[in-house]
Amino acid sequence: MDRSGSKPALIIGAFVFAALGLLGFLLRDAAIAVKEYERTVTAKGLAEREVPADIVIWPISFTLASNELSELYQSIDDSTQHIREFLHSRDIASGDISTNAPVITDKSAQSYGGPAAPFRYVATAVVTVYSADINRVRSAMSDVGTLGKKGIVLTAGNYDAQTDYLFTGLNDIKPAMIEEATVKAREVATKFAEDSGSRLGKIKRASQGQFSISARDANNPHIKNVRVVSTVEYYLAD
């Protein structure tokens, strides 16, 4: 048998085997390095601000009843005029006042049985104040009981009659709040890294939560609490 070509083949095989072994060793070290590099910590940072509302929506809802439709509409007009005069006397601008079309129910047309209603027609109407002058409107709210002395039956507790306060300046404070939340997240992550004998590396990923705007408390709906949470994941290094 000719063994003249077997020796080079063995040498080549030995080189291939050694190369594969070296490659495996390098890959193992690379895998370890990648695994160590992937050590991370995730931290959350909260930013909160108390801000005054800058818009108030105040619906003044009232109810009237009559057996004569024409008389009912006249009463709606009279009551609406009284409300407008009251608001003007409190220095609320005409441009901030709007009137919705009344909702009129014909009791005799309702299909369910029961005792006859004392009035055939019942109307609910709303005069709405939409204003940026929060203090002036709140002052008028405290005197709204004077309308009752004029025989106007105000409706309270209905969903359509709820006063709403808005804060429209979110875009002005967003950048500073996001920065504050990110700084606080880094402070938390840094403390964790120090406690674990590591140091904080670069940001791997970050996500900004939704901004939320809510009343500070039930008694101060005109003061808003704005909050946002940022979640940041950092690399850890020894």
Read off the tokens for 23: 């490659």
pLDDT at 8: 60
Among the listed residues 101, 99, 57, the one whose alpha carbon sits nearest the alpha carbon of residue 82? 99
Q: What is the pLDDT of residues 43-83, one digit of tens each?
A: 999 999 999 999 999 999 999 999 999 999 999 999 999 99
pLDDT at 87: 97
For strands 212-215 and 223-237, give the pairing: antiparallel
Task: Tell me which amino acid residue 205 is.
Answer: R
Q: What is the pLDDT of residues 1-54, one digit of tens each?
A: 455 555 565 555 555 555 544 444 444 443 344 445 568 999 999 999 999 999
pLDDT at 238: 78
Q: How many CB atoms within 10 Å of residue 35?
A: 9
pLDDT at 149: 87
Instruction: Annotate 106-126 with DSSP letters as a single string.
Output: EGGG--S-SSPPS-SEEEEEE
pLDDT at 32: 40
pLDDT at 34: 44
| β-strand partners of 123 | 64, 104
**What mean pLDDT comes out for the span 98-122?**
82
pLDDT cut 90: percent of the chain above it: 68
pLDDT at 196: 87
Q: How many CB atoms within 10 Å of residue 59?
A: 19
**What mean pLDDT comes out for the span 192-218?**
92
Read off the tokens for 115: 């005792």
Mean pLDDT for the chain overall = 85
Comparing 35-39, 92-96, 99-103, the range with the smallest average pLDDT is 35-39
Q: What is the pLDDT of residues 135-189, one digit of tens each?
A: 999 999 999 999 988 889 998 767 767 899 999 999 999 999 999 999 999 999 9
- The CA distance from 153 to 95, in Å, is 24
* pLDDT band, very low/low/confident/very high, at 114 (cuts 50, 70, 90): low
